[in-house]
Amino acid sequence: MVKVDIVEIELSSLCNAKCSACMRTMLDTMNKPYHKGNLTFDQIQEWFDPMNLKNTKIKMCGVLGDPMINPDLKEILFYFLYEKNVRDIEMSTNGGTRTKEFWKELGLLSKNSNKRFYIHWAIDGATRNDYRENVDLNRVWQNVDAYHSTGGHSIWQYIIFDYNEHEVDLARQMAKDKGMRFGTRKSWRNNSDFAKVKSKAAKEIDAEKYEDVEKRAYEKQYEDAKIVCRHKVKGEIYIGANNRLWPCCHLYDEDVARKNDSMKHLYENVGHDFNDLSKYSISDILSSEWYEKTLEESWNKFHPLHLPRCYLTCGDNGKRAVIKNVEN
């Protein structure tokens, strides 16, 4: 069984934003069903009480939702920090919800935990935040300032789009003034037909459209590729708001999207409950034959349970993965 070093958790599949390249937005637009809800503190406690998490990193970042929506958030944060004594907690959010008082409390939690808890702000612009639809940028900055006023530690992640590329230097200075680390990111998905807000910078990752490379992966139009799997290499696991445990967020995304029959075949062959945390423990799931053996075997494109997404995202040394550059 893989030693778990990183646990990524989607505390909620709900969100206040409506970003055009988000899977949840696309599912809503197409009226496709998906689990809508929050993980509870009781579930978190049941799943993780048997585990030693002392050297484990917790990442709270949803494929579909924003962790700030979860009503049990503070209770869950205290549990991981002080009962399980995790290495650290990184929470990603658009910052557009909750009160300033709530953010001040989180700032104190960051300070008092010696920065073991910190925020990863998803803010794509200094004066405009067009990509994050339904998010009030003025309210975001009020929340940022409230969080930092009580000693909070954070990173500002800035996706480069055509509308905001001229503001990168301004944003970097703002981050410095506010005491935030700053990093830019180029997202390949924003070189896509469904992306409403365009990004020339995305083409620096790959000049081909996202859909073209995706189609080639699903049709197996490639030679055997070296897969650099975060689950196998880094000991990472992902838990979705639907109680499913996956090796990574990409396979959870694939399960939710159901763009082809690969996930259907997987469930038909290994069982519909094989990774359901309402039926099995984390240890039981990670010790199953699929995790221990079949996953890696299925990277061969001729395997009956081959998952094209593994190549699409992590094939060729991960060249198809999103490129992220965080600056100190």
Separation of alpha carbons 164 and 131, rounded Å? 10
CB hemisphere CA count around 171 (13 angstroms): 26
DSSP code, position 244 = B
Statement: residue 233 has pLDDT above 80: yes
- Give 242-261 pLDDT, tens digit per residue: 999 999 999 999 999 887 88
The rounded mean pLDDT for the chain is 91
Statement: residue 311 has pLDDT above 90: no
Q: What would the DSSP string read from start to end of 38-103?
A: B--HHHHHHHHTTS--TT-EEEE--SS--GGG-TTHHHHHHIIIIIS--SEEEEEE---SS-HHHH
- Tokens 């409390």, residue located: 105
Domain at 6-204+234-282+322-327, CATH class:
alpha beta
Q: Model's pTM, two decimal places? A: 0.92
Mean predicted confidence (pLDDT) in 1-23:
93
Structure confidence at residue 258 (pLDDT): 82
- Give 124-152 pLDDT, tens digit per residue: 999 999 999 999 999 999 999 999 999 99
Structure confidence at residue 320 (pLDDT): 56
- Give 94-130 pLDDT, tens digit per residue: 999 999 999 999 999 999 999 999 999 999 999 999 9
Structure confidence at residue 281 (pLDDT): 98
Cα 202 from chain centroid (whole Å)? 19
Nearest-Å Rg of the Cα atoms of the chain is: 20
- Give 29-85 pLDDT, tens digit per residue: 889 989 999 999 999 999 999 999 999 999 999 899 999 999 999 999 999 999 999
